[in-house]
Amino acid sequence: MQTSISKVPDTAAAIIMIPKKETMSMIGTHEFVHDERNQDVLIYVNGELVPRHEAKISVFDSAFLVGDGFWESFRLHNGKLAFVKEHMARLKANAKALDYDLGMVPEKLVAEVYKTVRANNMTTNDVHIRLMISRGIKRSPSQDPRTSIGGPTIVIIAEYKAPARQAETGIRLFTVHVRRGRPDVQDPKLHTHSKLNCVISCIQATKAGVDEALMLDPQGFVSTCNSTNFFIVRENEVWTSTGQYCLNGITRGNIIKLCKRNNIKVFEKDFSLFEVYSADEAFTTGTFGGANYVSEVDGRMIGDGRMGPVTRRLITLYAALLDEECPPEGVVI
């Protein structure tokens, strides 16, 4: 475990080693390095590029009133949007499922993201972009999509966001009471602004003193985390959930692809906390941080608490995949 250890006075024969809570990592998986340049970024709001402090949307916006919106995030790599095809496929699937009229061909949105990035002269690999689409302004507060008028609200925020977490600092997880929902309640595959189940999970994990929440599916099998996807490694096999109750992360898909390409056995299957606690390794995935190793789940150290060889290999392979997808030559910007 990557934490300092304090000795508790011994009453029995053995000395109990307890990590000092205040020295443990407790930063969310999306914590980033503060960057002053973000104060001056231009934000895209419905086709206009406006200074950050002037960027506003209406109090009658569907996303504010009823969480009726969806989003994608992108990472800039060598001046290009990484895995843009996969992100756009997910965006289109969300637009279809939520019955949105985007008012433009989805491909035009890619051009709008590039427009935002270029207006901000962003070329470095620490740029994170969020593209958000809501059902637009409503005549009056109401959940009914028919009360939305004037087309969708589209906002693009591009910021300098280098992950604050050091690669060798493991993520600590806590299994929360909030479950991933069934698809007939609110399909967990939707990349929607309605994220209260994840937010409540995040609060519970934070109050438990860890970095991120681990969430179970309705049957009690391990599903995913509140803002990242989850994998374990057992005897050199990589396991992740079936994908039926989690956001089908682009990074998750890429890690599965990398396993298959490199003869690492990978399974999307049901497994329980029983198998998590005794896993050799565990890691999370997401666009923001790539793959990050997990050192602890519910107070149980995973493996020896350090990054394991399979996770390390996948992190290296993922970095190479990013370069393959967005080669340094032929920079778009």
Ligand X SMILES: Cc1ncc(COP(=O)(O)O)c(C=O)c1O
Query: What is the binding site for ligand X (CB under 6 A)?
Result: 73, 198, 224, 227-229, 247, 249-252, 285-287
Judged by beta carbon, residue 24 or residue 216, the one nearer ligand X is: 216
Least distance in angstroms from the C-beta of 184 to ligand X: 19
Q: Could you tell me which residues come within 8 angstroms of residue 14 by beta carbon, excluding any fewer than 6 positions away?
A: none
Judged by beta carbon, residue 154 or residue 247, the one nearer ligand X is: 247
How far apart are the C-alpha atoms of 134 and 114, rounded to whole Å? 20
Using DSSP, how many helices (H) and how many strands (E) does the chain show? 8, 19
Judged by beta carbon, residue 44 or residue 83, the one nearer ligand X is: 83
Least distance in angstroms from the C-beta of 255 to ligand X: 9
**What is the three-class DSSP state of 313?**
helix
Is residue 139 a contact partner of residue 82, using CB atoms and an 8 Å limit? no
Judged by beta carbon, residue 94 or residue 120, the one nearer ligand X is: 94
Judged by beta carbon, residue 78 or residue 201, the one nearer ligand X is: 201
Least distance in angstroms from the C-beta of 249 to ligand X: 3
Judged by beta carbon, residue 240 or residue 251, the one nearer ligand X is: 251
Q: Could you tell me which residues come within 8 angstroms of residue 9 by beta carbon, excluding any fewer than 6 positions away?
A: none
Judged by beta carbon, residue 157 or residue 247, the one nearer ligand X is: 247
Least distance in angstroms from the C-beta of 318 to ligand X: 11
Token pair belonging to 305: 């608490």
Q: At what angle do helices 84-97 and 250-261 cross, to 10 degrees?
A: 130
Least distance in angstroms from the C-beta of 96 to ligand X: 18
Residue 22 sits at φ, ψ, to 5 deg, of -70, -15
Judged by beta carbon, residue 3 or residue 134, the one nearer ligand X is: 134
Token pair belonging to 72: 């994608």
Using CA atoms, how far residue 237 sits from 76, 111, 264, 311, in Å, is 31, 40, 7, 11
Nearest to 190 by CA among 91, 107, 270: 91
Task: Put the strands of the sheet holding 69-77 in their side by side order.
Answer: 48-51, 42-45, 153-160, 127-134, 69-77, 80-81
Q: Side chain identity at 294, as an amino acid letter? A: V
Least distance in angstroms from the C-beta of 217 to ligand X: 13
Q: Could you tell me which residues come within 8 angstroms of residue 127 by beta carbon, excluding any fewer than 6 positions away?
A: 75, 76, 117, 158, 159, 160, 161
Least distance in angstroms from the C-beta of 48 to ligand X: 26
Judged by beta carbon, residue 137 or residue 246, the one nearer ligand X is: 246
Position of minimal CB gap to ligand X: 249
Is residue 134 a contact partner of residue 95, using CB atoms and an 8 Å limit? no
Least distance in angstroms from the C-beta of 200 to ligand X: 13
Strand partners, 216: 222
How far apart are the C-alpha atoms of 229 and 193, rounded to whole Å? 18
Least distance in angstroms from the C-beta of 260 to ligand X: 17
